[in-house]
Structure 1
Amino acid sequence: MAGKEREITLRFLAEPADVNFGGKVHGGAVMKWIDLAAYACAAGWSGKYCITVYAGGIRFVKPIQVGNIVEIRAKVIYTGRSSMHLGIDVRAGDPKYSERHLTTHCIVIMVAVDDEGKPTEVPEWMPESEHDIKLRDSAIRLMEMRKKIGAEMEAHVTT
C-alpha cells in the first residue's frame, strides 16, 4: 500500500565474496547494498517501480568485516512530485553480539516511473517529529547544493 511504509531495514551476513584486497568488505559491495535498500524503500513508499537518479555524500566511516551482520536502513526524508530522497545508514557488527556500529551513510534519490519509464507522482511525505523536520530541511538544503555542484561538474563532462 503506497505511502505507508516509510522505512525498511535489510539484514544479512557479509560474505567472503564481498571481500576486497585488504580483507574487508569492498566499498562497491556496500554501494550495491545501499542501492538495493533504497529501491526497496522507494518502491514500498510509492507502490511503483523506481530508479536511482542520485547517490551522494557517501561516507565510509568504518570498515565491515567478512562475517559481520550488516543492517542497511533506508528512510524517506523528503518527497517531490516523483522523487523520494532517502537517508541511508549502514551498520554492522559481530552477529554474536547485539552492538552494531555505523559504517556508512549517504543520501539516495529515487524516482518512481510508469510502464513507459516516465516519472510518475508519488505520495507526499509530511514530517511529524522535530527530528523528521530537520531531516526534511537538510534534504532541501542538499538539493540546493547539488544544483550548484551539478553546474560546476559540467566543466568535467566531455562531449
Structure 2
Amino acid sequence: MAEQQRDITLRFLAEPGDVNFGGKVHGGAVMKWVDLAAYACSAGWSGKYCITAYAGGIRFVAPIHVGNLVEVSAKVIYTGTSSMHIALDVQASDPKELNKTLTTHCIVIMVAVDANGKPTKIPEWIPETEEDIKLRDSAIKLMNMRKEIGEEMEMHVKMLR
C-alpha cells in the first residue's frame, strides 16, 4: 500500500426516496450514508476490507430536506491493532446557497479483516496536532466508557435470565 488516506468526504443530493412520512430524510438513510463514509475512510486508511463493529453516539441535530446537498465527512481519530475509530459529521445545505448546517454526528468503529473475515493488522495513526491529540484522547475516553456500559448491560442480561 502506497499511502494512507485519513479522511474522506462523500457528497450527493438527498433524493425523494430518502424521505420519511414527515417529508424529511429518515434516520435510516443517514445511518447508511454514515456507514458508507466510515467504510471508505477505514479502507482508505488500512488498505483492507473493513466491517462495522460499532456505531454510537449518533446525534440527529437538524433535518435534511429532499434536494439538499449532503456532505458526509469521515476522519480516523484513533487506531488499535485492527480497529479504527472514525469521527463522522453530516452537513446539508441548499445547493444554490451552500450554507452548510450540521445535521448529524457520531463515532463508528471499523475493523479491518482478512479474506477469512478475521481481524488483521492495520497501520497505526499517530496524532500530530493538538486538535488530533484531543480527538484521540476523546476516542480513548469513549472506548473506556463503552466498556463500562457493556459490563453494566451484561449484568442486566444475567439478571433477566
Deviation sequence 1:70-109 (CA, Å, 0-9, x none): 0000000000000000000000010001211100000000
Give percent identity, aligned residues only.
75
Number of residue pairs aligned between Structure 1 and Structure 2: 159
> Is the partner of 2:11 in helix, strand or coil?
strand
What is the CA–CA distance in structure 2 between the aligned matches of 1:98 and 1:30, rounded to whole Å? 19
Q: Is 2:85 the partner of 1:95?
A: no
TM-score scaled by length of structure 1: 0.96
What is the CA–CA distance in structure 1 between the aligned matches of 2:24 and 2:98, rounded to whole Å? 20
Aligned ranges for residues 31-50 of structure 1 at < 5 Å? 31-50=31-50
Aligned position for 1:108: 108
> Is the partner of 2:39 in helix, strand or coil?
helix
Deviating runs (4+, > 4 A) in structure 1?
156-159
Letter in 1 for 2:121: E
Q: CA deviation at 1:13?
A: 0.2
Aligned position for 1:140: 140
* RMSD (CA atoms): 1.4
What is the CA–CA distance in structure 1 between the aligned matches of 2:2 and 2:111, rounded to whole Å? 14
> Is the partner of 1:114 in helix, strand or coil?
coil
1:47–1:26: structure 2 CA closer, same or farther, 3 Å change rule? same
**Tell me, which stretches of 5 or more residues in structure 2 are unaligned?**
none
Aligned ranges for residues 1-159 of structure 1 at < 5 Å? 1=1, 4-154=4-154, 155-156=156-157
**Tell me, which stretches of 5 or more residues in structure 1 are unaligned?**
none
What is the CA–CA distance in structure 1 between the aligned matches of 2:100 and 2:78, rounded to whole Å? 26
